[in-house]
Amino acid sequence: MGDEEKIKVELPLTEFSEINETWWRHAVIEGGRYSLKSHTIARIILLRMMAGKYRVACLRQFQKNIEDSSHQLLTDLIGKYGFTGFTVTNNEIKHDNGSNIIFKGLDRNVESTIKSLEGVDLAWVDEAQAITIKSIRVLVPTVRKHGSQLIWTLNRLTDLDPVISYFITDPPRDDVWHLQVDYRMAESYGWLSDEMHKEIEYSRIHHPEDYAHDYLGKAMNQSDKSILSVSKVLEAMNREVEDDGSVEVGADIARMGNDRTEFVKRKGLKEIARKTFSKLRTTEVCDELEIFVDFDKEVLIKIDDTGVGGGVTDEMLKRGYNVMAINFGSKASDSDKYPNLISEAWFYMQKIIDQISICSDKDLLSELSNRQWAMDSKGKRGVESKDNYKKRGYRSPDKADATILCFYTPQIYKIEWGSSV
């Protein structure tokens, strides 16, 4: 391409000064609407493709069809700048020099989806606030070509989003470039229209919480949807209370290989012990539970009785322990307010969170503060199902459920071994 044919592509090079560096393996780029984070990455990808053979994978957690990807953005930019040499098909963008972009979703079978990614130079994960920890763990070692890099662009939902926890806070890494931008960058370059500026100003004045998330890229105010806020849970983790009262134990029993069996013990309103196990048989769970309660058959043990928990209930009763079997899906004590027992238990935790002391644990913090609720058609407050919680990218909330069991005691009859119900 001769000098007279050169095309001017504007880039925010001050903010994105590290984009062409090789020291970083991961770039975590955050921003709200009109921060132009995706537009900037798309422009850079196209320029690199024209400069020489360059292979790119554009990924999202959920991509049912090509319209759910960055395909249209890249296609529009090719047309806008008059870039030549590109061939656009329904599921791929190629360049005459051998460069190409493929588009993949990771939600269905991440292991098989990423088999074709071993030779890519760049993996760009857009809308990365929806990515799951499983996808991160499978994807990262697969993109292994020498010099390859991964870019994660997102508008974080919470401070515990998997990408944030994995690359920024758990613990910080020296191969991560972390950039936070917002609409003010576009405004400073004169790229923000008057119409958009008015919309943003209206949101800033009249809907400040929405403005903070939508346009500044800040975490959502969890009090809007979450039963327990991060701040309340952290206060409980940092609080000291007297261990005055009876001892009770909550036990959440693992249902699948990747789930965890969790025991939690409290005395009064103070958590005094916690143990986590995985891949134990029923008799092994019971053996560990006996040790956990110091073989004290007076201690009240509340067991999630659904699924494999039923076997643990039966065996512990047979061994003579004081067991209360709890089915979270059963009827709530106050059925006028809650659709099921688990919802009642979670909102009971909301009532006592300012009084209790629990252990400091990052997984527990995430599980307690990210469970959401909704009002049903009858005006009852219900906690989201475990399946829906996991679909949002979180692992099974075993630590939270065991903690809820430990602190909540429903009004149900104690079960005796050999009794009929």
CATH number for the domain spanning 206: value is 3.40.50.300
Q: Are residues 193 and 309 in the same domain?
A: no
Let me know whether 75 and 165 are in one domain: yes
Specify if 128 maps to a domain: yes
- Find all residues with CB under 8 Å of 129, minimum gap 6, and list them: 154, 155, 156, 157, 161, 163
In a domain, 219, yes or no: no
Boundaries of domain holding 402: 230-407
State residue 213's pLDDT score. 82
- Whether 127 and 274 share a structural domain: no
Q: Do residues 51 and 58 lie in contact, with contact meaning Cβ atoms separated by under 8 Å?
A: no
List phi, psi (to 5°) of 56: -130, 140
**How does 150-182 read in b/e, with b if 16+ C-beta sit within 10 Å?**
bbbbbbbbbbbbbbbbbbbeeeeeeebbbbbbb
Count of domains in the chain?
2
Supply the pLDDT for residue 107: 72
**Whether 162 and 128 share a structural domain:** yes
Q: Which of 231, 272, 280, 271 lies closest to 253, judged by CA?
A: 280
Q: Is residue 413 part of a domain?
A: no
- pLDDT, position 279: 86
Distance from chain centroid for Cα 6: 43
pTM of the model: 0.57
Secondary-structure breakdown of the chain: helix, strand, coil percentages, each rounded to the nearest 5 = 35, 20, 45
DSSP run (H or E) holding 267: strand 261-267
List the structure tokens of 167: 């690359």
Half-sphere exposure of 104 (CA within 13 A, CB side): 24
421 residues of the chain, pLDDT tens digit each: 444 456 778 889 899 999 999 999 999 999 999 999 999 999 999 999 999 999 999 998 877 777 768 999 999 999 999 999 999 998 899 999 999 999 988 876 556 666 668 789 999 999 998 888 888 988 999 999 999 999 999 998 877 788 998 998 867 789 999 999 999 999 999 999 999 999 999 988 887 767 888 898 877 655 467 898 877 888 898 899 999 999 999 999 986 556 789 999 999 999 999 999 988 999 999 999 999 999 999 999 999 888 788 999 999 999 999 999 999 889 898 888 899 999 999 999 999 999 999 998 878 888 898 888 888 777 888 999 888 888 776 778 999 999 999 999 886 544 455 554 4
pLDDT given for residue 36 in this prediction: 93
